[in-house]
A and B are shown apart, each in its own frame.
Chain A
């Protein structure tokens, strides 16, 4: 991929393989490439078990990547460097899915937010307290909340605490791993609005992982579609939704239920047959070949390469140029 002006993160051929059992390998993330511009959002979508969370965690170096390169502001990152994890944490932070499990129940909210600063010994206690209060206010909580414990908050409020913890390091990139899927519809919108408002005021870049496809479309500039650890399609959000290139993307988006009975009753659904195959015994050739309705002989034998079909819109399918939906 060509280097761009505002590019903040570029990931090239990133893979994460886990060893499971004797001589068996689970390819959780396999050869994924994408790039991200400052202030934009990349949405990662796919069925459960497709590796989207693993991808986020591998970028964060929670899992050491098996292979592949990452460039942060055009500098190649070296995971073996001393203090790499801490350096990365200054730039990239994460918001987790489960607001109940991701906050330590034995720490006060103030301590949770200030933990990163305390590790780095850069601030006085008073300064930490002031900045904690300031952060709580940015995410819509009060100063007195700093002395409370996580169990005293509702799901939406906890997610706000999680977001303020991520903001405390003043990162450039925040990886949001299903930040709203545990929340109710009315609260989801509150958290989404907060994320968008923070992005605009702080020039944040998001990697937004979710299976709620309509929310992903709403927030994302670019979308990465994954299936069984591989990248199927990557491109501008509207383009991917309106004119998907990959048969899998097409099927995935046709399955999103639309909250309007008039549209819903007229819609043509592409029902995928069967289920996602086991990631340990991957199908030969294209990983989607076992469920694809346009499958040809070549799909079963040869792995398709990711190609740029339209400007900025990449797809890994042998027939991406010829298939008409």
Chain B
């Protein structure tokens, strides 16, 4: 059996923002675990807190109006919420790197791409001579599939096309060979053909470096392609967590059933109507006491509105927060598998 090494562990993280209208509880008790070489897909609708969760790992959320209410983030057994600024800077430079949806929010438009990558490498390894760093930078650009990397090294981001900027941003992140890569919707703005290229590239790099990846997306197709584990988020909480194959083929939470049923099945035409989830997500200024999905759930029970469900676990370590798995819950059919719900 392959030995898994734990790299990141998030314990009961709460993160809130202060706004004029009051406190927005963006993340409300998220716990996650990522091993080396694995990819975690973080899926959810917009505003469910997936980006805030990811950014809070490296403290990239605005600190002026946001704060960690409670929780721990352990990276290689070190609590990231307690490290000093110097250490945090080192971790950001070398060990945890992020890529974003829009490459221009990451690349500096006034600086040559090559210089940015070289600077990143020197930040991570202060003792490295510049010549060597440049060599590594060119090598990484080549690995990213950028033709003529030597020449492109001296170009500005605006001289790159959209797909190349995305590659340059990934190069910037991967040049220092990080242990954890956080990808915040890296392919959302791209066409399917480019998306396929970029995903293949990320997968290759992962194999090469054994990097752990957190892939944030709302596209279920993307996570099906790349993720080993999937966490489904809703209203700042994790609804379901499990191996990718299980979450898609034996989903446990009614919210997951809902999203899977609202995408058109392959080969279907419009004579079979889609089953949307009725309603809208709850307001995070004043989140409901019970299950946040209760208002939209077709299987809602009395208890759902009054108490947040316990965490139930299957034998294969798939976890779900839903009262339907309690021993006193009524018999219900899982609409995806057609079988009775059970752990």
A189 touches B192 (CB 8 A): no
Q: Which of A47, A184, A214 has the most CB of B within 10 A?
A: A184
Given contact pairs A47-B191, A186-B262, A262-B245, A257 touches B45 in the complex (Cβ within 8 A): no
Given A215-B264, A219-B270, answer yes or no on A271-B161 (Cβ-Cβ < 8 Å): no
Is the CB of B81 closer than 8 A to any CB of chain A?
Answer: no
**Separation of A271 and B275 alpha carbons in the complex (Å):** 33
Q: Are A214 and B263 in contact (CB under 8 A)?
A: yes
When each residue 149-187 of chain A gets 1 if its CB lies under 8 Å from chain B and 0 otherwise, what string results?
Answer: 000001010000000000000000000000000001111
Interface size on A, residues (CB 8 A): 41
Is A255 on the interface with B (CB-CB < 8 A)? yes
**A260 partner residues in chain B, CB cutoff 8 A:** 224, 248-249
Tell which of A48, A185, A264, A272 touches B224, judged by Cβ atoms closer than 8 Å.
A264
B193 touches A259 (CB 8 A): no
Q: Is there contact, CB below 8 Å, between B270 and A257?
A: no
Contact B259 A185 (CB under 8 A): yes
Asked if B258 contacts A186 (CB within 8 A), the reply is yes
Which of B20-28, B59-67, B215-223, B324-332 forms part of the interface with chain A?
B215-223
How many interface contacts (CB-CB < 8 Å) are there between A and B?
118
Q: Is B163 an interface residue (CB 8 A)?
A: yes
B244 at the interface (CB under 8 A from A): yes
Known contacts being A259-B263, A269-B196, A272-B197, is A187 close to B276, with CB within 8 Å?
yes
Docked-complex contact B280 and A154, CB < 8 angstroms: yes
Does B260 sit at the interface, judged by CB under 8 A?
yes
| Interface SS majority for chain A | helix
Contact at A189–B262, with CB atoms within 8 Å?
Answer: yes
Question: Could you tell me if B269 and A190 are in contact, using CB atoms closer than 8 angstroms?
Answer: no
B193 contact set on A, CB distance < 8 A: 47, 251-252, 255, 271-272
Contact check, B218 vs A185: say whether CB atoms are below 8 A apart: yes
B225 on interface, CB distance cutoff 8 Å: yes
Contact of B220 among A192, A215, A251, A259 (CB under 8 A): A259
- Given known A185-B262, A255-B192, A259-B224, contact A192–B218 (CB-CB < 8 A): no
Question: Are A184 and B45 neighbours in the complex by a CB distance under 8 Å?
Answer: yes
CA distance A190 to B262 in the complex (A): 8
Given A156-B280, A271-B196 in contact, is the A256-B221 Cβ separation under 8 Å?
Answer: yes
Whether a CB of chain B sits under 8 angstroms from the CB of A275 is yes
* Size of the chain B interface, CB-CB below 8 angstroms: 44
Min C-beta distance of A293 to chain B, whole Å: 13
In the complex, residue of chain B having the shortest beta-carbon distance to the beta carbon of A278: B161
Q: When the two chains form their complex, are residues B45 and A186 in contact, meaning their CB atoms are under 8 A apart? A: yes
Docked pose: A48 CA to B258 CA in angstroms: 30
Report the minimal beta-carbon distance from A257 to chain B, rounded to whole angstroms. Answer: 3
Known contacts A211-B192, A255-B193; is A189 also within 8 Å of B275 by CB? yes
- Given A218-B264, A261-B224, check contact A256 B248 (CB 8 Å): no
Is A205 part of the binding interface, using a Cβ–Cβ cutoff of 8 Å? no
- State whether A262 and B270 are in contact (beta carbons under 8 Å apart), knowing that A189-B262, A218-B264 are contacts in the complex: no
In whole Å, how far is B1's beta carbon from the nearest beta carbon of chain A? 20
Do B224 and A258 have beta carbons less than 8 Å apart? yes
In Å, the complex CA distance between A154 and B281 comes to 11
Interface membership of B83, Cβ < 8 A: no
A192 proximity list for chain B (CB < 8 A):
264, 274, 276
**Closest Cβ–Cβ distance, residue B234 to chain A (whole Å):** 10
Identify which of A187, A214, A262 contacts B264 (C-beta below 8 A): A214
Residues 163-213 of B at the A interface (beta carbon under 8 Å): 163-164, 191-197, 199-200
Chain A 28-60, CB-CB to B under 8 Å as 1, else 0, gives 000000000000010000011000000000000
Smallest beta-carbon distance A290→chain B, Å:
13
B222 contact set on A, CB distance < 8 A:
257
Q: Are B276 and A190 in contact (CB under 8 A)?
A: yes
Q: How far is the CB of A97 from chain B (nearest CB, A)?
A: 13
Interface flags for B62-77 (1: CB within 8 Å of A; 0: not) read 0000000000000000
Q: Which residues of A contact B225 (CB under 8 A)?
A: 257, 261, 264
Q: Report B240-285 residues with CB < 8 Å from chain A CB.
A: 244-245, 248-249, 258-260, 262-264, 266, 268-270, 273-278, 280
- Identify the 7 closest CB pairs spanning chains A and B, nearest first: A257-B221, A189-B262, A189-B276, A218-B264, A259-B220, A186-B277, A255-B196
Residues of B within 8 A of A (CB): 45-46, 161-164, 191-197, 199-200, 218-222, 224-225, 227, 244-245, 248-249, 258-260, 262-264, 266, 268-270, 273-278, 280
Beyond A186-B276, A271-B193, 7 additional contacts (C-beta under 8 Å) are A185-B259, A185-B262, A186-B277, A189-B262, A189-B263, A257-B219, A271-B196
